[in-house]
Structure 1
Amino acid sequence: MIELAVFDMAGTTIDEHGAVYEALRHAVESTGATVDPHDLQTWMGTDKREAIDALVRLGGGTPDADLVERQYGEFRAFLKKRYEEVPPEPIAEADKALAVLRARGIKVALTTGFSDDVALPLLASLGWSTGEGGNLDAVVTSDEVVRGRPAPYMIHRAMEKAGVVDVRKVLVAGDTAVDLQAGHHAGAGVVVGVLTGQLPRTALEGEPHTYVLDSVAQVPDLAETATAE
């Protein structure tokens, strides 16, 4: 039986109405670089500073550290404005799924390509938190690891925080290619793609996976998350 479920945030457990895509595109295009939709999708789910650097280069620019930091500020400001206009909300039935898993003794962690200053206020706006009375056992942001997805480090950090030592008893779920690649690289026992993001089923099925589901709401239906007899 799975001991820890590690979920991505935006597009997987949280519906932020495409704001991250818009903010990342804005941050890159405002440098004068062009953004190919395929490249944008490829870099979704990664550390946002890494994504800005890569997308500016792919779009014909020559970023340095100062430009990346400046455009990350643009990303944050754009995202904050969009969140104020259209507040994020849980993916349908996602909060219920998290509660069901925890009631079965499965710990729940969230990982994200956001830094603390973006991720933590977003979770607070939903009333999601760790600690006593919270609905999560761990949250891992891009600030806590030397490299974000598709590296496995956020998943392993979530295991460390949750006190889980066997990667075979970890389920990883996300809506992007790098989510599934990170789960595979981490050695997770179950890797789940969900269709609540921007990628179609065929794209997710082209990545390492155990299941592709319509939503995280279906994760408690998997045999691996069922209550042991």
Structure 2
Amino acid sequence: MAENFRSVPTYRGPVQACIFDWAGTVCDAGVFAPVLTFQQLFEQEGVPITSEEVRKPMGVHKRLHIQAICNLPQVTERWTEKHGSPPTPEDAERIYSKSLEATLDLLPANSKMITGVVDTMNKLRSDYGVKIGSSTGYTSEIMARLKVQASAEGYTPDSYVTSDEVKEGRPTPSMIYLNMIRLNVYPAQAVVKVDDTTGGIEAGIHAGCWTVGIAKTGNYVGMTESEMESADPKELEAKVAKARQILYKAGAHFVIDTTNDLPAIIDLINQRLALGIKP
């Protein structure tokens, strides 16, 4: 009878690493740097776009993001009215070629750390022994600027992975896997992916990680911290509830308002891991 069974290793240890997105998750509440960048770029083409149009494909590589905006029916229609024909892949590539300089211009004023996040990162390291990784749709040139600004505010991840370091970024798990290699962390269920976009959540699911969506400070609410403080509470809660629904629908195991709520979720995940439960 015993020959009908086999022993399979079961991980029962704690969370070893959390891999965080940047805009909307740890900095830039409301995710304004990418939105303002793309609005500026399309304005230069004579085709204004709304923040809602920019936010729909948020979370993928910026090249794919621009192409996705061009493919939106209403944007295609306005582009055709302006230029006489629909936008081509070459048009999208030309816009992308300008995106680095535009992003670097707008980044400093729109990348302030979200209140409390630095303290939360310190708590994750000191109380839970967690390593901190990062993944982003930003390129390495942009991250070179962003990580200096973040470090000055007290946030320095143990690993940085940008979209241009892998063949394809979110929603593939490539950036998560590269973080795991650099952090020397395994198995995947010992890793938590924290992101405010569906693409980031999907990447975590594909990687086999636990996934935590960030609703309130993220892309789908789209408000700065000061705007949230002065907003009508009922209207704000309605927006946050909608964001939660979007993230849960994408497959998030947990959805919280801000990254500052994460330690309590790590406790819950550690309880599950101790029982041998996988994501």
Q: Same fold (TM over 0.5)?
A: yes
Alpha-carbon separation, structure 2, partners of 1:134 and 1:41: 25
Does 1:96 find its partner at 2:119? yes
TM-score, normalising length: structure 1: 0.86
Q: Which of the two has greater helix per residue?
A: 2
Deviation for aligned residue 1:33:
5.2
Structure 1 stretch 136-145 or stretch 67-76: which is displaced more?
A: 67-76
Deviations 1:140-189 (A, max 9, x none): 0011111011111111111111001200111001111111111111110x
- Aligned residue pair count: 223
Deviation for aligned residue 1:80:
2.6
Equivalent residue, structure 2, for 1:216: 259
Deviation for aligned residue 1:212:
0.7
Equivalent residue, structure 1, for 2:211: 191
Deviation for aligned residue 1:74:
2.9
Percent identity of paired positions between Structure 1 and Structure 2: 27
Equivalent residue, structure 2, for 1:83: 107
Mark the structure with the bigger radius of gyration.
Answer: 2
Query: In the alignment, is the contact (CA less than 8 A) between 2:194 and 2:212 conserved in 1?
Result: yes
Alpha-carbon separation, structure 2, partners of 1:39 and 1:206: 20
Equivalent residue, structure 2, for 1:19: 33
For residue 71 of structure 2, the aligned residue among 49, 57, 80 is 57
Stretches of structure 2 that go unaligned for 5 or more consecutive residues are 1-13, 77-85, 221-242, 275-279
Q: 1:100 to 1:225 in 2, by over 3 A?
A: farther
Deviation for aligned residue 1:108:
0.6
Alpha-carbon separation, structure 2, partners of 1:93 and 1:162: 24
Residue correspondence of structure 1 range 1-229 to structure 2 within 5 A: 1-15=14-28, 18-32=32-46, 35=49, 39-58=53-72, 59-60=75-76, 61-65=86-90, 67-84=91-108, 86-103=109-126, 104-127=128-151, 135-188=156-209, 190-195=210-215, 196-199=217-220, 200-222=243-265, 223-224=267-268
Deviations 1:63-118 (A, max 9, x none): 335x444312432333233234x252111111111111122211110100010011
Alpha-carbon separation, structure 1, partners of 2:101 and 2:107: 10
